[in-house]
Every structure is written in C-alpha cells, then in structure tokens.
Amino acid sequence: MTRILEARPLTPVTKFFRLDAPLIAASAQPGQFVMLRAREGGERIPITIADYDRETGTVVIVVQEVGATTRRVCALEAGEEILDVAGPLGSPIELPAGGHLCGVGGGFGTASLLCLMRERRASGGRTTAIVGARTKDLLILLDDLASLCDAVEVCTDDGSAGFRGFVTQRLAQLIAGDGPGRPDHVVAIGPMAMMRAVAETTRGHRVKTLVSMDPLMVDGTGMCGGCRVMVAGKPRFACVDGPCFDAHDVDFDVAMRRNKAYVRQEHAALERLACASGRD
C-alpha cells in the first residue's frame, strides 16, 4: 500500500499525485517508471516517475484518465492509498554531458520532463522545454517547468497561449537557430503520434533524439515480452531496455498498432466501471 500525500487535478483528465514512497524516491532517475495496481483484480499499469525528492521520500506521478485503471487512480484523493506501486523500473535516460537539451512534452508527458530538466540543469547543461496542448487550459505544470528550465516554449493548436501550432513546428524553428537556439539533444515524451512527428522533425539534422515508448506492459521486469518495440529492426523490451530509445530507430507503425490490441476489451472494462460507479 502506498499512501497519497497530495492529489490535485491539473486538467479535467489529468491529476497530480505526490506519493509517500521513500524506497522508490531514493533510487529513481529521470526516464524511469513505476507499475501500479489500483485494486485487487486490477491491471498492472506503467506510469512515469515525473519527479522525486530523496529528502522527503516522495515521488510525483501525473496520471491521465484513459481507461478503467487510470480512472480508478484519478478518483483517489490525498490520504487514500494505492494498492501496489513497484519501481523504479526501466533504464534511466542517458545523454552525453553538457550541451543544450530540448525536452518536448505533450499531455501527461510534460510531467515527465520535471526531474529530467532538474537533473540536467544540476549537471550543467542548458535546458529548454517545449510543451504543447490543444488549448491553453490543457497545459500543465508550466510554473514548475519555468523554475527548472532555462527557457519554456509554449505551443497551443488554437493559439490561446504561446506559439500557435504544433510542438514540432516550434522545434523546427529552434533547430533552425530561432529563440533559445539549436538543441544538441532532444527528448520527447508524449502521445505516440507526437513522438513520431518529433522523430521526423529532427531526422536529417543530426540531433540526437530519444523518445519514451509506452507499449502495453504486464510485469515491467522483462518477463513477458509483451512490451517489445522494434528498434533498428530488432525486438527490444521497453520495460528493461527502455522505455527511452533512439527516435530515429523506432518502428512507430508497429508500436502504434500493438497499442490498439485491446481496444474492444478496454471499452467493455470502462462500461463495467461506469455501471459500478454510476458515472457517465
């Protein structure tokens, strides 16, 4: 059982949680995730460690409601407990020292930039975050990022805040030398379609780009092989070899198709949950 110390909605579909998890906080590093279960009989789902504080023994996660398990988690409040939280899992992000890191975040992926940017800045590198959303109200954690990065570039599809357009358009401008300037490394965390677009944007510009893949997972320890992602033509297990891989080597077609394997069953699970809780 892991106690929730703080819980607050960031948007109508994403919620911020600070967990009392001293063992995880003590060893977590940017790029890693936890596996959690909300209830007996529930799924094990992977959630990125957005931030951690070794002093207070706390870990931050940001959960976006998409299906039954994430809804169950998002219904929890401070003082309540999550049944199982195991981690940190996955390999930490490895980047060459120094240089200009551009973190591109979309949706809940924005949260995952927090600890990455903090660590990067502490080690002396320059940091820029490019974060995007459909509209201004869906942007999350801007103040936190502003305090951690040298620059924050905001993009909205409708132009309600910052740059009007996609994060990839703004990224292309940076690569061309605009604003905070050309990045040496890019780390993109967000929806698969966004990460694929980032891969296409940096391809051919000799900008080392990592993406954080989010395949379906069962155990998160390298035992089931369900999380395999094709990277440079070879199957790699995202839970132990990743979840971050070189964006230019990832086969996104296969990855996107595999993530849709259970769409039908997931809808059924949501309906069961809705009936049980009288929602919707």
Partner 1 sequence: MPVKRPEKTTMPTREAGERAHTFAEVNEGYSVAHASFEAERCLRCQDPVCVSACPVQIPIPDFIHAVAAGDMAGAARILRSANPLPAICGRVCPQELQCEGSCSMGGRWKPVAIGHLERFVADWERSQPITTRPAITRSERIAVIGAGPSGLVCAGELARHGYGVTVYEALHAPGGVLRYGIPEFRLPKAVLDWEIAMLESAGVEFQCNIIIGRTITLDDLIAKHGFAAVFIGTGAGLPQFLGIPGENLNGVYSANEFLTRINLMRAYDPEADTPVHVGRRVAVIGSGNTAMDAVRTSLRMGAEEAMIVYRRSEKEMSARVEEYQHAKEEGIDFHWLTSPLEILDDGDGWVSGLRCQRMELGAPDASGRARPVPIPGSEFVLAVDNVILAIGTTPNPLLTRTTSGLAVTEHGCLLADERTGLTSKPLVFAGGDAVTGAATVILAAGAGKRAARAIVEALATRTLVTRLPS
The CA distance from 126 to 124, in Å, is 7
Q: Write the binding mask 162 to 201 for partner 1: x where contact by CB under 8 A, - elsewhere.
A: ----------------------------------------
How does DSSP assign 192-235, residue by residue?
A: HHHHHHHHHHHTTTT-EEEEE-----SSSSSSS-TTEEEETTEE
Question: Closest approach of Cβ 205 to partner 1, in Å?
Answer: 29
Q: Which of 37, 100, 126, 185 binds partner 1 (CB under 8 A)?
A: 37
Q: Which of 30, 46, 88, 183 binds partner 1 (CB under 8 A)?
A: 88
Residue 130, Cβ density class (10 Å: 0-12 exposed, 13-18 middle, ≥19 buried):
buried
Question: Closest approach of Cβ 219 to ligand FES, in Å?
Answer: 4
**Angle, to 10 degrees, between the axis of helix 192-202 and the axis of helix 167-175?**
20
> Which positions ≥6 away from 70 have C-beta within 8 Å?
45, 63, 64
Question: To 5 degrees, how large is the angle CA 143–CA 145–CA 148?
Answer: 115
Q: Does 66 bind ligand FAD (CB under 6 A)?
A: yes
Q: Does 279 bind partner 1 (CB under 8 A)?
A: no
CA 14 from centroid of its chain's CA atoms:
12
The CA distance from 112 to 114, in Å, is 6
Q: Does 12 bind partner 1 (CB under 8 A)?
A: no
Residue nearest to ligand FAD (CB): 67
How does DSSP assign 69-111, residue by residue?
A: HHHHHHT--TT-EESEEEEEESPPP---SSSEEEEEEETTHHH
Stretch that binds ligand FES, among 14-22, 54-62, 136-144, 218-226 (CB under 6 A): 218-226
At 178, which amino acid appears?
D
Residue 61, strand partner residues: 17
Stretch that binds ligand FAD, among 43-51, 170-178, 199-207, 244-252 (CB under 6 A): 43-51
Q: Does 274 bind partner 1 (CB under 8 A)?
A: no
Q: Does 231 bind ligand FES (CB under 6 A)?
A: no
Stretch that binds ligand FAD, among 62-70, 122-130, 133-141, 160-168 (CB under 6 A): 62-70
Contact 155, 132 (CB under 8 A): yes
Q: Which of 7, 28, 31, 43 binds ligand FAD (CB under 6 A)?
A: 43
Question: Closest approach of Cβ 38 to ligand FES, in Å?
Answer: 18
Stretch that binds ligand FAD, among 117-125, 157-165, 174-182, 260-268 (CB under 6 A): 260-268
The contact set with ligand FES (CB under 6 A) reads: 217-220, 222-227, 237, 239
The residues of the shown chain that bind partner 1, judged by CB under 8 A, are 23-24, 27, 32, 37, 41-44, 68-69, 83-89, 218-219, 221-226, 228, 230, 235, 240, 254, 257-258, 260-262, 265-266, 269
